[in-house]
Amino acid sequence: MKTFKNNLIGGALFILLFTLAACSEETSDKSTAEAKLITEQDTVFIGFLLDTLQDERWYNDKELFEEEVSNLGGRVKTLAANGLDDVQISQAELLIEEGVDVLVVVPRDAAASAAIVELAHEADVKVISYDRLITNSDLDYYISFDNERVGELQAQEIVSKVDSGNFAYIGGAESDNNAILFRQGAMTILQPLIDSGDIELVYDQYTEGWNPDVAEENMLSALDEQGDDIDAVVAANDGTAGGVINALSTVGLDGKIPVSGQDAELSAVRRIVDGTQTMTVYKSINTLAVQAAEMAFKVAAGDDIPTETTVNNGQIDVPSILLEPITVTEDNIDETIIQDDYLSEKDIYQK
DSSP string, 15-61: HHHHHHHHHHHHHHHHHHHT--SSS-TTS-EEEEEES-SSSHHHHHH
Tens of pLDDT, residue by residue over 236-290, are 999 999 999 999 999 999 999 999 999 999 999 999 999 999 999 999 988 999 9
pLDDT, residue 102, reads 97
Residue 340: band (very low, low, confident or very high) from pLDDT cuts 50, 70, 90: confident
Section 290-300 average pLDDT: 96
Contact criterion met (CB below 8 Å) for 125 and 93: no
Section 138-153 average pLDDT: 97
Integer angstrom CA distances of residue 328 from 31, 156, 163, 188, 275: 49, 12, 19, 20, 13
Contact criterion met (CB below 8 Å) for 268 and 242: yes
pLDDT, residue 41, reads 81
Section 103-111 average pLDDT: 95
Contact criterion met (CB below 8 Å) for 240 and 209: no
**Is the C-alpha dihedral spanning 119, 122, 123, 126 positive or negative?**
positive
pLDDT, residue 123, reads 97
Tens of pLDDT, residue by residue over 158-187, are 999 999 999 999 999 999 999 999 999 999
The mean of the pLDDT values for the chain is 90
Residue 54: band (very low, low, confident or very high) from pLDDT cuts 50, 70, 90: confident
Residue 6: band (very low, low, confident or very high) from pLDDT cuts 50, 70, 90: very low
Higher pLDDT, 22 or 77: 77
Question: Residue 220 pLDDT > 50, yes or no?
Answer: yes
Pairing outcome for strands 141-145 and 126-130: parallel
pLDDT, residue 83, reads 87
Distance of CA 149 to the CA centre of its chain: 16
pLDDT, residue 240, reads 98
